[in-house]
Structure 1
Amino acid sequence: MPKAVILDGYGPPDVLTWTDVPLPEPGPGQVRLRVRAAGVSPTDLAIRSGHLKAFPLPPRAVLGFEAAGTVDALGPGVTGVAVGDEVAALLPHLGGYAEYALAPAWTPKPPGVSWVDAAALPSSAEAAAGVLNQLDVQPGGVLVLFGGGGAVGVIATQLAVSRAVSVVSVVRSATDAELARALGATPIETGADLVARVRAEGPVDAVFDAAGTGVLAAAVALTGDPDRVITLSDPHAGDFNVRLSAPTPDRAPGALAETMALLAEGRLRMRTRTTMPMPLAAEAHRRLESGAVHERIVLVAP
């Protein structure tokens, strides 16, 4: 039988177990992937811990919003792809931490893009492009980005700069500040008087919280309007009347294809990545939560 990392209830990383599961069958419009790699996102950790119950989960749920692999089977009505094709996919209903996953949409993986890079791109690309579309900052406007050194933040910075939006990137280290500057943003390190220091850069049109770590009070203070703030995963979004990011089919439908092409051409930078075997997903979550790993973790299937 195929295997997957099962989540049996909310809790610490130990609730994740590598176990046998039925082989999923693709429905209309879906393909089944033989997964080669799957990205681990901060949202995965928030869901698993129970801090983000806006994403209700069925029993024996499988986490993972993104994966890359080989098409293994086609559901009814699927065209334009064949068994054996190499693709990357955003999985809006999760399922990436598995040997086999079902995908409702996919993008071809160029030969020059590794499985690890392809698996680390889909959810970050969709979130970055999707939130930028929702915030709709016009050319010449100013976007404040919390978590600019993270996987989503790095891509969001590049997309915003390409749209002639000025990005003020709030970062946690000199290394992240250097990266933000290299990507075309103005870095400001977090700390005392943050709101005043950001305001000194000029009026703020919108705030993108890609950090999800208790910055919403500052974010609302900077805009004066919670409608101009979107957070990826802060569970207290409702307390501040701030929108919680959620992927929808029409939010950024071309984001993965666009960024995959840029990646293949060497024109897109991504956050540094490290790999771990998929059966060790619980350890991957543990390391991320402890701060022992600062890179993006990608799980590699057996």
Structure 2
Amino acid sequence: MKAIGLTNYGGPEVLRPIELPLPEVGPGEVRIRVRAAAVNPVDTIIRAGHFAGKDGAIPVAVVPGMDVAGTIDAIGPDQPAGFDLEVGDPVIGFIVPDGTHGGYSQQIVLPSESLTRKPPTLTFPEAASFLSNALTAEIALEALNLKPGATLAVTGATGAVGGYLVELASQRGLVVIASASAAEKDLVQGFGASIVLDRDADFAAGVRVATEGVGVDALADPAILTDQVIDAVTDGGQIAFFLPTDVEPGRGISVFRSYVMQSSRRHDVIERLARLAGDGKISLRVAGRYPAVDAAESHRRLEEGSLRGRSILEF
């Protein structure tokens, strides 16, 4: 089986084609013949060795990749109740990458709870482009548990996670305050933001003005601004952080620390997000398509910045 992986950490150039044994399918699992795999920022962190405990010598090849779309080519025994997929069915899957187990592979084995049927309205690249980011946003909103009419501030609203936060929050009836450049204000308003602030201005100060000094009920911070934006939140409010941070906001503000890998088997949410995508109710942004062998170039492009949407590797 062909995959794209690395045997030493470093820049994009360490990614190369490798050969791996065909993974066997076990109880409650499904094997997917991958047609498309998304390139996410987490993949670049894995590749560079920036995860604690994952930055030393590599005993076996590492294969990045969290989002895939393809077709089922094997089904294991003892499937969960309600499982109704068959060999040949097109599916979308979410992967917890570990060692050689990553989405940049011709074939990948997943728990059945980690995948769902691909909506027929989506191409394979589109189907691979959204799940981990939309799941990250939805799990954060679920944890914040805001009622309709509550206020949510979102940093990085033009990014993938930020964009889904705005869309999914507005669908919940939340009042969303987000930031964007002047050129992307219409985009973020189209996601459902009620107020769009200038990205280059002081976000916390702008939120305070927009809320008449009160602050928002909650802040989601996928732009990783942390202590720069805490003042946007009212006393006793909430913040969702999306990378590890030691920041403690004080003022009775509670913190949700997002780690989407823990939700890899939330089949209920995975299925619902796929349905929303298929119905056109969340945005799908494919920034570019690359043959899998050009994974290094896709990583270089991502690290250059200003990429809107996800690059897709095709197998």
TM-score range, shorter chain: 0.7 to 0.9
Calculate percent identity across the aligned residue pairs: 36
Q: Quick one: which of 217, 220, 230 aligns to 1:220?
A: 230
For residues 221 and 158 of structure 2, the distance between their equivalents in structure 1, rounded to whole angstroms, comes to 12
> What's the counterpart of residue 205 of structure 1?
217
Question: Any conservation in 2 of the 1:126–1:252 contact (CA below 8 Å)?
Answer: no
Q: Give 3-state SS (helix, strand or coil) of 1:188's partner.
A: strand
Q: C-alpha displacement at 1:258, in angstroms?
A: 1.7
Q: Quick one: which of 80, 86, 89 aligns to 1:85?
A: 89
For residues 159 and 176 of structure 2, the distance between their equivalents in structure 1, rounded to whole angstroms, comes to 15
Q: Does 1:238 align with 2:236?
A: no
Q: C-alpha displacement at 1:59, in angstroms?
A: 3.2
Deviations 1:120-153 (A, max 9, x none): 1211221111111112222211111111111222
Q: Give 3-state SS (helix, strand or coil) of 1:82's partner.
A: coil
Q: Quick one: which of 103, 107, 115 aligns to 2:110?
A: 103
Pairwise CA RMSD of aligned residues? 2.5
For residues 44 and 226 of structure 1, the distance between their equivalents in structure 2, rounded to whole angstroms, comes to 35
> What's the counterpart of residue 46 of structure 2?
47
Cα distance change, pair 278–33 in 1 and its aligned pair in 2 (3 A): same
Of the structure 1 ranges 132-141 and 219-228, higher mean CA displacement relative to structure 2 is found in 219-228
Cα distance change, pair 271–220 in 1 and its aligned pair in 2 (3 A): same
Q: C-alpha displacement at 1:13, in angstroms?
A: 1.3
Question: Any conservation in 2 of the 1:129–1:252 contact (CA below 8 Å)?
Answer: no
Q: C-alpha displacement at 1:23, in angstroms?
A: 0.8
Question: Any conservation in 2 of the 1:148–1:176 contact (CA below 8 Å)?
Answer: no
TM-score using structure 1 length: 0.88
Cα distance change, pair 272–198 in 1 and its aligned pair in 2 (3 A): farther
For residues 301 and 36 of structure 2, the distance between their equivalents in structure 1, rounded to whole angstroms, comes to 18
- Aligned residue pairs, count: 295
> What's the counterpart of residue 298 of structure 1?
312
Larger Rg: 2
Q: Give 3-state SS (helix, strand or coil) of 1:169's partner.
A: strand
Q: C-alpha displacement at 1:92, in angstroms?
A: 2.5
Q: Quick one: which of 171, 179, 187 aligns to 2:187?
A: 179
Q: Give 3-state SS (helix, strand or coil) of 1:221's partner.
A: helix
Letter in 2 for 1:267: K
Question: Any conservation in 2 of the 1:150–1:271 contact (CA below 8 Å)?
Answer: no
For residues 140 and 292 of structure 1, the distance between their equivalents in structure 2, rounded to whole angstroms, comes to 32
For residues 182 and 18 of structure 2, the distance between their equivalents in structure 1, rounded to whole angstroms, comes to 41
1:268-287 → structure 2 map (5 Å cutoff): 268-287=282-301
> What's the counterpart of residue 61 of structure 1?
62
Structure 1 unaligned regions, length at least 5: none
Structure 2 unaligned regions, length at least 5: 250-254
Question: Any conservation in 1 of the 2:155–2:178 contact (CA below 8 Å)?
Answer: yes
Cα distance change, pair 72–155 in 1 and its aligned pair in 2 (3 A): same
For residues 59 and 134 of structure 1, the distance between their equivalents in structure 2, rounded to whole angstroms, comes to 36
For residues 250 and 27 of structure 1, the distance between their equivalents in structure 2, rounded to whole angstroms, comes to 17
For residues 53 and 157 of structure 2, the distance between their equivalents in structure 1, rounded to whole angstroms, comes to 24
Q: Give 3-state SS (helix, strand or coil) of 1:72's partner.
A: strand
> What's the counterpart of residue 159 of structure 2?
150
Cα distance change, pair 239–16 in 1 and its aligned pair in 2 (3 A): farther
Question: Any conservation in 2 of the 1:90–1:106 contact (CA below 8 Å)?
Answer: yes
1:227-266 → structure 2 map (5 Å cutoff): 228-232=238-242, 234-235=243-244, 237-240=245-248, 243-247=256-260, 248-249=262-263, 253-266=267-280
Q: C-alpha displacement at 1:250, in angstroms?
A: 7.9
For residues 227 and 197 of structure 1, the distance between their equivalents in structure 2, rounded to whole angstroms, comes to 17
Q: C-alpha displacement at 1:225, in angstroms?
A: 7.4
Question: Any conservation in 1 of the 2:92–2:128 contact (CA below 8 Å)?
Answer: yes
Give the ranges of 4+ consecutive aligned residues of structure 1 lying more than 6 Å apart after TM superposition. 54-58, 224-227
Deviations 1:225-244 (A, max 9, x none): 79822233x35x13558654
For residues 248 and 8 of structure 2, the distance between their equivalents in structure 1, rounded to whole angstroms, comes to 28
